[in-house]
Structure 1
């Protein structure tokens, strides 16, 4: 799905918090990969569980590992470049029913285009384009509220644990 927007793609809005990848690790309980995003201005973290293939695509780019042939996210980058488009930012825009949603903002032929995406795919592209990663403030608030529910005592504990991990504990992006 795509839509054209008047919002400048490279501009951060007041509803967005700039994040960086703090780490990529395996959830010891579910054995699923987690991308840990961290607010660049604070210690706030946002864990996002992703699929193994998407985590691998992110890990390859974080480690700057070359592959003999283009992987899917490399193909998407090459396709965008071939069409003279530029990915300017990605935004984790929504949390609905425990599922995160993202938008890839790009410029093409003078128009700003927003593409619906999974956060893992959007992050993999953001790394390849070296563009900023944002999270909507409402998503951060909703994830905090979800963490404050009855069974979320462990989610709060996990958030605190993630905030205090050092680089060795985060696995240095190894999958």
Structure 2
């Protein structure tokens, strides 16, 4: 498993599709874009900004329920099959709960736990994109343009194993 962090959420034209951007922490520093829904994007941004609602939203509620019965140890993006990403919440005692990556990552961010992606997923679904300090905004804009032309077929065969 490769450690990643949430870099943010981008809205991709023409229909403003939200994309969760995960980035490898060390090594090749690859980017993993995962398309998510608008409500999930809102929940993820709130989690990243540590927004506390007067009444818990769904992600906060799930996090609170998990805390009552144990704890989240880490989040793993485990597979990519036919353009669909899969992930697990890894709880205490190695218990795994399957979840959509957007939900799992938001819960993991709220819990402050490590986020990891299977190397096989990164091998077929990630991209490298270097950010130079002198022109970061332009490079991010260029990266978003590249994402406009990405389709599930561009990622090749799903990982095996």
Q: Please give the TM-score of this superposition, normalised by the length of structure 1.
A: 0.71
Match of 1:35 in 2: 20
- Deviation above 2 Å: which 4+ runs of structure 1? 163-171
Gaps of 5+ in 1: 1-15, 145-155
Match of 1:128 in 2: 110
- Offset from partner CA, 1:60-91 (integer Å, 9 cap, x none): 111222211001011111111112x1101011
Task: Check 1:66–1:169 CA distance in 2 against 1; reply closer, same or farther (3 A cut).
Answer: farther
Match of 2:96 in 1: 114
- Offset from partner CA, 1:19-43 (integer Å, 9 cap, x none): 0111211012331111111100133
> Does the CA contact (< 8 Å) of 1:25 and 1:170 recur in 2?
no
The CA RMSD over aligned residues, in Å, is: 2.2
Q: Aligned to 1:166, what secondary structure does the other structure show?
A: helix
| Matched residue count | 137
Distance, in Å, in 2 between the alignment partners of 1:33 and 1:167 is 18
| Residue of 44, 68, 74 corresponding to 1:82 | 68
Gaps of 5+ in 2: 142-161
Structure having the larger proportion of residues in helix? 2
Q: Work out whether 1:68 is the aligned partner of 2:54.
A: yes
Q: Work out whether 1:19 is the aligned partner of 2:4.
A: yes
Distance, in Å, in 1 between the alignment partners of 2:29 and 2:110 is 25
Q: Which has the higher contact order (CA 8 A, sep 6+)?
A: 1
| Residue of 86, 99, 102 corresponding to 1:101 | 86
Q: Aligned to 2:116, what secondary structure does the other structure show?
A: strand
